[in-house]
A and B are shown apart, each in its own frame.
Chain A
Amino acid sequence: MTLTQEKTIASRVRADFPILHQEINGKPLVYLDNAATSQKPLAVLNALQDYYQQDNANVHRGVHTLSSRATDGYEGARDKVAHFINAASRQEIVYTRNASEAINLVAYAWGNANLHPGDEIILSVMEHHSNLIPWQLLAQRTGAVLKFVELTETEEFNLEQFRGLMSNQTKLVSVVHVSNTLGCINPVREIGAIAHHYGAKILVDACQSVPHMAVDVQALDCDWLVASGHKMCAPTGIGFLYGKLDVLRSMPPFLGGGEMIADVFLDHATYADLPHKFEAGTPAIGEAVALGAAVDYLSALGMDNIHAQEADLTAYLFQQLAKLPEIRIYGPKPTPTGDGRAALAAFTAGSIHPHDLSTILDQAGVAIRAGHHCTQPLHRYLGAQSTARASLYFYNTREEIDVFITALQEAVEFFGGIFG
């Protein structure tokens, strides 16, 4: 990746994101909180507005024109998502509010029906709370047992220890594809193959991978994969569950209501075919349409180009951070070309509390995340009460990284005086 290419992508897309062109505390906004949520391009905002201005109606109900258009938009977006992650069938894509709801869907519908006392669920210590709490609740309901994969010395998924945890008791492995804190990219295909060897299922939390790299569910051979729209340029309130057709077919419904039925009688009902069996009630139609627009936008840029651009930024970010001796970054180091990890850095800066750091950076217009990033157990494991995190997306630039680094230096100096 060359600087020329970086300039090409960044300069091409900056104008698409009106929100980035504003001042915060008198300084140009530098938005480095993309792992929390991404910004939305005009193409997505317009899709949302166009839907409500031209096509709004309920889906799958009316025979009138607007209803037909709304249904086409909603189902068309499903085709786009299916194609985006290379699902074998559009029926394998279930819309949810977000990734958390998708995981809860699996935990209730599949988990309640399939887990028994003593069955084991393998997670890792780096999981986001959304890939932890639903399984804690499931374990409480069924008597299943949770086991945890720890980290290697380089703060990555410990594959060897994982192998040792697997047994015929293992029924499910649920792991994050890319850690939102460590930035490591987990070998989910290999993890899935090991899980399948023991007859266990695998769920992949792809919230931090699908927005940033090409993800192919058939190549990963996972049973389920979940992602959230708002981290990939779409609005909040829409995410999706991918599930293999036969696995989804075997699962009973999750939520009951309209949309998910075939025939309803007073005392029983038959259910709609996939994917509608899992989409009770009027869905987030406009948001789904906008998710389709986000997928179009990302596809037009090319996921490989996005990934390459982010690798270039990662290499630069880590080079610059290495110049600040006070900074301790968690997770694996990138290769010199910026590969091998996600374009984010969770770090601590000596004795400076991340909240104080974030306030000082905000005065310089720089938005970063401070706290536990919904990975409290991981922070406990790492011995850090909280961390600061800068997370990038394809619209970020080297110049923005420079602004961030300068502000970080100033913050270290501001506090350095008292801890010196």
Chain B
Amino acid sequence: MTLGNLRDLYQQVILERYKKPRNKGKTDPVHRFQRGHNPSCGDTIELTVQLNEARDQIQDVKFEGEGCAIAIASADLMAEALRGKRIDEALEMVQRFQTMMKGEAEFPPELRKLNALGGVAQFPVRIKCANLTWHTLKAALEVTDGVAANGFISNETE
């Protein structure tokens, strides 16, 4: 077995976050809610976002759901990285993450933990797993006002 490749994909931080995610749950209050779904495997992520009073900055992000190591670690690391970010910055991060999945970018030192997911780029069929949470976040943030209580986004169009 090519364990080398697998170590690139399943870096220690990914395995740890899969085993013990730090950002599971629901924010209080919930300013944004979005459900993301990967129809090909059934993986589901439910994101809740708490914003500041001006509604232009993220105070907290939490997730619920079931998924593989890549999907869960991606959600957990994303939630952590988003705290304190303005919405426009968060959307830029979504863009950067998706570019990283093509092997064409990485995050700057202050967000370097997210680079642990860069190895996914070598496993094209798994990019969907890593992207699920970011795709869901984008949909959550693009809701202009209030809580999209029935928000549901499919990852299949990626």
B4 nearest CB across to chain A (Å): 10
Chain B, range 7-28, C-beta contacts under 8 Å to A: 9-10, 15-16, 18-19
**How many whole Å from A359's CB to the nearest CB in chain B?**
6
Is A25 engaged at the interface, CB distance under 8 Å to the other chain?
Answer: yes
Task: Kindly list chain B residues whose C-beta atoms are within 8 Å of the C-beta of A355.
Answer: 41, 43, 68, 70-71, 126, 129
Report the minimal beta-carbon distance from B71 to chain A, rounded to whole angstroms. Answer: 8
Q: Chain B: interface residue count, which band?
A: 20 to 34
B68–A363 CB distance below 8 A: no
A368 beta carbon closer than 8 Å to chain B: no
The interface bits of chain B over 58-75 (1 if a CB of A lies within 8 angstroms of the residue's CB, else 0) are 000000001111110000
Q: Does B42 contact A385, Cβ atoms closer than 8 Å?
A: yes
What is the predominant secondary structure among interface residues of chain A facing chain B? Answer: helix
- Select the residue from A359, A364, A376, A407 with max chain B CB neighbours within 10 A: A359
**With A and B bound together, what is the CA distance between A410 and B2 in angstroms?**
11
Which of B1, B9, B18, B70 has the most C-beta atoms of chain A within 10 angstroms of its own C-beta?
B1
B1→A371 contact, CB < 8 A: no
Q: Does A372 contact B (CB under 8 A)?
A: yes
Q: How far is the CA of A88 from the CA of B109 in the complex (A)?
A: 73
Shortest distance between the CB of A405 and any CB in chain B (Å): 13
Q: Mark A232-265, 1 if CB is under 8 A from B, else 0.
A: 0000000000000000000000000000000000
Kindly identify which residue among B2, B6, B15, B125 contacts A418, using a CB–CB cutoff of 8 Å.
Answer: B15
B69 cross-chain contacts in A, Cβ below 8 A = 353, 356, 415
Chain A nearest CB, measured from B127 CB (Å) = 12
Contact: B18 with A371, CB < 8 Å?
Answer: no
Say yes or no: A356 contacts B66, CB within 8 Å.
no
Instruction: Identify which of B66, B67, B126 contacts A359 (C-beta below 8 A).
Output: B126
Using a CB-CB cutoff of 8 Å, which residues 33-79 of chain B contact chain A?
A: 40-43, 66-71
Interface residues of A in 60-98 (CB under 8 A from B): none
Decide if B41 touches A371 in the complex (CB within 8 Å). Answer: yes
How far is B125's CA from A25's CA once the two chains are assembled, in angstroms? 14
Report chain B residues within 8 Å CB of A385. 42-43, 66
Are B40 and A371 in touch, CB under 8 angstroms? Answer: yes
Q: A26 interface residue, CB < 8 Å from B? A: yes
Does A360 lie at the interface of the complex (its beta carbon under 8 Å from any beta carbon of B)?
yes
Nearest Cβ in chain A — how far from B121, in angstroms?
Answer: 14
- Among B5, B18, B40, contact of A363 (Cβ-Cβ < 8 Å): B5
| A371 cross-chain contacts in B, Cβ below 8 A | 40-42
Instruction: Tell me whether B123 and A359 are in contact (CB under 8 A).
Output: yes
Q: Is the CB of B41 within 8 A of A410?
A: no
